């Protein structure tokens, strides 16, 4: 559904952040993008929705070639791509609901958004998503009054309210503690499954990437050096991506998973519940 061909980005400073990336992300696939700092992960996903303008190559979303769109068509196309940020990037001084509804800005005219007169359907949808991420009681709280995990849930909800086809996720857990990181990753993956969304998730934490993504792409110096399932991520592969290091403790083995009490408990809870029901306590209370 998303197809990158020969994507290149050269910054005015001369840095070649991307050197001809070819990548196809089919519908509904959650893909993790790993790689060292400066490998071009952020540039890659920003080139897709053109927060950063690519220098060469093509980006196709469905039938739409994104790189050649004018300003107005680009705005229409951006509605189909929800973005989730590392530092949440919520508008700090607006309420949770206002932040959520800002996901509808691409659909609503200027004056309606100025007077906060969003269509009733948008508001109903916002409440439904707020329920889903477990933040209903925070609807009128200001974004800067929330904890990190709660803010990231608002960030996720804002992206979903766009009604996107794909999520572009930039280091969603880099500012969160390990437990909250896992909850947030699980939430993103669950939501993608529920809605059949594709996702590209930039992530530093290799273990998290292996745990939650079905496909892992390794980026090094602006080039794809690995593309495959998480299970094939061996020490040699990690060395090609990141360079020489002792990887023996980083790689997740199948038997280790059972020993992690946190993962085991959450895993059973979710399997028992069938389609994942929002566990408010877990989602909102503890973060």
Partner 1 sequence: MATGGGEGARTWRRRAPKRDLAVWFGWLLGLLVTLECFRVIADVTIWEFVWDAPQQAGDLFSRMVPPRWPYIDRLWLPLWDTINIATLGTLLAIVMAVPVAFCAASNTTPSRLLVRPVALFIIVASRSINSLIWALLLVSIIGPGVLAGIIAIALRSIGFVAKLLYEAIEEIDTAQVEAVAATGAGPGQVLTYGIVPQIMPAFAGISVFRWDINIRESTVLGLVGAGGIGLELQASISTLAWPQASVIFLLILGTVLVSEWVSARIRHAII
Task: List residues binding partner 1 (CB under 8 A).
Answer: 49, 51, 75-79, 81-83, 85, 87, 89-94, 98, 102-107, 110, 113-114, 155, 158, 162, 168
In the bound state with partner 1, the residue whose beta carbon lies nearer, of 111 and 271, is 111
Per-position DSSP letters for 112-144, written without gaps between them: HHHTT---HHHHHHHHHHHHHTT-GGGTTSBGG
In the bound state with partner 1, the residue whose beta carbon lies nearer, of 104 and 182, is 104
In the bound state with partner 1, the residue whose beta carbon lies nearer, of 106 and 276, is 106
In the bound state with partner 1, the residue whose beta carbon lies nearer, of 63 and 244, is 63
In the bound state with partner 1, the residue whose beta carbon lies nearer, of 40 and 155, is 155
Rounded least distance, CB 279 to partner 1, Å: 27
**What whole-number distance in Å separates Cα of residue 75 and Cα of residue 69?**
9
Cα-based torsion angle of the residue sequence 44, 48, 51, 55 in order, rounded to the nearest 10 degrees: 70
Q: Are 218 and 226 in contact (CB under 8 A)?
A: yes
Rounded least distance, CB 163 to partner 1, Å: 11
Locate 176 and state its tokens. Answer: 């969160």
In the bound state with partner 1, the residue whose beta carbon lies nearer, of 49 and 211, is 49
136-172: string of b/e by CB count within 10 Å (b at 16+)? eebeeebbeebebbbbbbbbbbbbbbbbbbbbbbbbb
Rounded least distance, CB 55 to partner 1, Å: 19
For residue 212, how many C-alpha atoms fall within 13 Å in the half-sphere facing its CB? 30
Rounded least distance, CB 102 to partner 1, Å: 5
Give residues with Cβ within 8 angstroms of 93, minimum separation 6.
142, 143, 144
Task: Note the residue count of the chain.
Answer: 287
Q: Are 77 and 61 in contact (CB under 8 A)?
A: yes
Rounded least distance, CB 170 to partner 1, Å: 10
Rounded least distance, CB 98 to partner 1, Å: 8
**What whole-number distance in Å separates Cα of residue 164 and Cα of residue 80?**
4
Rounded least distance, CB 114 to partner 1, Å: 6
In the bound state with partner 1, the residue whose beta carbon lies nearer, of 79 and 252, is 79
Number of C-beta neighbours around residue 250 at 10 A:
15
The beta-strand segments (E) located in the chain are 2-10, 16-25, 30-34, 56-61, 64-65, 81-84, 166-170, 198-202, 215-220, 223-228
In the bound state with partner 1, the residue whose beta carbon lies nearer, of 107 and 247, is 107
Rounded least distance, CB 177 to partner 1, Å: 21
């Amino acid at each position: 559904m998303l197809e990158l061909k020969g994507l290149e980005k050269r910054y005015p400073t001369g840095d070649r952040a991307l050197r001809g990336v070819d990548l196809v992300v089919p519908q509904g696939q959650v893909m993790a993008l790993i790689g060292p700092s400066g490998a071009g992960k952020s540039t890659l996903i920003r080139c897709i929705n053109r927060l950063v303008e690519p220098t060469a190559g093509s980006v196709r979303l469905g039938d739409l070639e994104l790189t050649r769109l004018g300003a107005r068509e680009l705005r229409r196309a951006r509605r189909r791509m929800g973005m989730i940020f590392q530092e949440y990037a919520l508008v700090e001084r607006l309420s949770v609901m206002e932040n959520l509804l800002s996901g509808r800005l691409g659909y609503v005219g200027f004056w309606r958004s100025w007077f906060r007169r969003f269509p009733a359907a948008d508001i109903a949808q916002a409440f439904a998503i707020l329920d889903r991420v477990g933040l209903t009681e925070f609807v009128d709280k200001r974004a800067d009054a929330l904890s990190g995990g709660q803010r990231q849930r608002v960030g996720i909800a804002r992206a979903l309210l766009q009604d996107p086809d794909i999520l572009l996720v930039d280091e969603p857990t880099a500012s969160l503690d390990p437990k909250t990181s896992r909850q947030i990753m699980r939430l993103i993956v669950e939501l993608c499954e529920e809605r059949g969304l594709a996702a590209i998730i930039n992530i530093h934490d290799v273990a998290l990437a292996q745990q939650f993504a079905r496909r892992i792409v390794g980026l090094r110096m602006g080039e794809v050096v690995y593309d495959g399932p998480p299970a094939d991520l061996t020490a040699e592969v990690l060395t090609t991506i990141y360079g020489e290091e002792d990887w023996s403790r980083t790689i997740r083995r199948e038997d280790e998973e059972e020993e992690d009490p946190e993962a085991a408990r959450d895993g059973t809870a979710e399997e028992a519940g069938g389609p994942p029901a929002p566990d408010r306590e877990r989602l909102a209370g503890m973060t």
